[in-house]
Amino acid sequence: MSQKRYVHFLMLTVFLFSSGCQDDLPVKEQAKKEGDPELKVSGPPPKAVVVDGIYDFGSMQVDQTLKHTFTIRNDGEGVLKLKYDRSTCKCTMAELKKKELAPGESTKVDLEWTPKALDPNFSQAAYLKTNDPNNEEIALTVAGRVDSLFDITPTGVWYLGEMNRDKPTEFSGKVTSRVQEEVEFKEASCSNPLVSVQLTPMDRKELEEDHIKKGYLIKGEVAPGSPLGVFSEKIELKFLVNEEGKKVVKPASFTVEGYYSGPFKLVGPPGWTSAKMTMDFRTFPAKKGKKAKISMFVKDNKGPTIEIKEVVSTPDFLKVTLQKDEKFQAEERERYILTIEVPPDAPPSQFYKHNPARIKVVTNSPIVGTMDIRVLMVSF
């Protein structure tokens, strides 16, 4: 006589969070509770079977919620008893509404999780204890990677090196998403009109090669016309993505950085970086001030003596002067002394790499043009 199979649907909702979790428990630790009266076996033994106990969800986004249904089946001859034990995160909430499965009976168990941090190797689990002597603990595991909405390659600042003063400097990369397939590029913007950017959708082959759902190739250029010194601009991207059936705008951004050098040479004291047109005064008393003299060697100057036409500095107490060295003698070469000064008794200030003081120096010379000098310092 065949045994009639009954299928009941048991809903167990478990919320798993990847942040704020402490004291994760090992898989087997605390799993065995000797003498648990609720899990005693009387009569023929049950056999607990989990259909696909590890669910690989692929990729998901931070703060996104996913759900998965596991199936637990009793393939034994006795009654299978289930009891919720724990999860790998102490903030898990769970409720087990049915604790016994007859022979041949199966049940559905729903897991729900919402990660709160990026994690390339996300793995969380809920554990049930059973009275199956050969399978005293059942692990229901969800695993995958938790990504940001967008990944921009190259990562960090896009360094362009020395940039061409006579023709555009090009750059390229890509912006991709492992978690969203419905991504539509809307616009790219930059406060500097010399910067232009275009985005082209990646084709299916490119998406498959990178294991991503959606992506765009980035191509851009910086037209000539910037002052000598460090070039750094932030490029803002906007996309339309689908969130719960609604189109919403999501931003992404990256920074391109390089430097422009001229047909002259700048040689300075310790703290001066010619490629970045940066003077690092380090730490000094504000009462004493600080000064640096930089030699500027100019070749083949057919025009008048080079002079400063305008200086714009932030903060405005920074001073800059340029004076020709009349004693310097060399064929078709001139030497000028560029002095950068923090005057004595200037206000105490702190300027670092991420927020340098700026000096824009406009000259009367087509050779030198405009210089953009950065100053780092801590005065007290």
Q: What is the pLDDT of residues 175-188, one digit of tens each?
A: 999 888 899 999 99
**Contact of 16 with 111, CB cutoff 8 Å:** yes
pLDDT at 21: 46
How large is the average pLDDT for residues 254-258? 95
pLDDT at 32: 47
* 264-379, CATH topology level: Immunoglobulin-like (2.60.40)
pLDDT at 357: 96
pLDDT at 36: 67
Q: What is the pLDDT of residues 39-84, one digit of tens each?
A: 777 778 999 999 888 888 888 887 778 888 888 999 999 998 888 8
CA distances from 75 to 71, 127, 131, 288, 296 (A): 12, 19, 13, 86, 87
Instruction: Classify the phi-psi angles of 289: left when phi > 0, otherwise alpha if psi is within -120 to 50, otherwise beta.
Output: left
> Which H or E run includes 101?
strand 100-101
pLDDT at 205: 94
214, pLDDT greater than 80: yes
Q: How many angstroms separate the CA atoms of 257 and 235, rounded?
A: 11
pLDDT at 243: 81
**Contact of 145 with 178, CB cutoff 8 Å:** yes
Q: How many angstroms separate the CA atoms of 266 and 274, rounded?
A: 6
Cβ neighbours around 137 below 10 Å, total: 16
Tokens of residue 317, six digits: 């107490």
The full set of domain ranges for the chain reads 14-147, 151-260, 264-379
Predicted confidence band of residue 92 (pLDDT cuts 50, 70, 90):
low
Q: Which of 85, 68, 197 lies closest to 131, judged by CA?
A: 85
- The residue with greater pLDDT, 217 or 210, is 217
Residue % of the chain over a pLDDT of 70: 87
pLDDT at 4: 41
How large is the average pLDDT for residues 339-362? 96
Per CATH, 14-147 and 151-260 having the same topology is answered yes
CA distances from 140 to 74, 77, 166 (A): 16, 23, 63
How large is the average pLDDT for residues 318-347? 94
Query: CATH assignment of 151-260, given 3.30.70.260, 3.30.1780.10, 2.60.40.10, 3.30.43.10?
Result: 2.60.40.10
Predicted confidence band of residue 120 (pLDDT cuts 50, 70, 90):
confident
- The residue with greater pLDDT, 299 or 244, is 299
pLDDT at 30: 46
pTM over 0.95: no
Is the CATH code 3.20.20.480 the one for domain 14-147? no
Predicted confidence band of residue 37 (pLDDT cuts 50, 70, 90):
low
**Contact of 340 with 245, CB cutoff 8 Å:** no
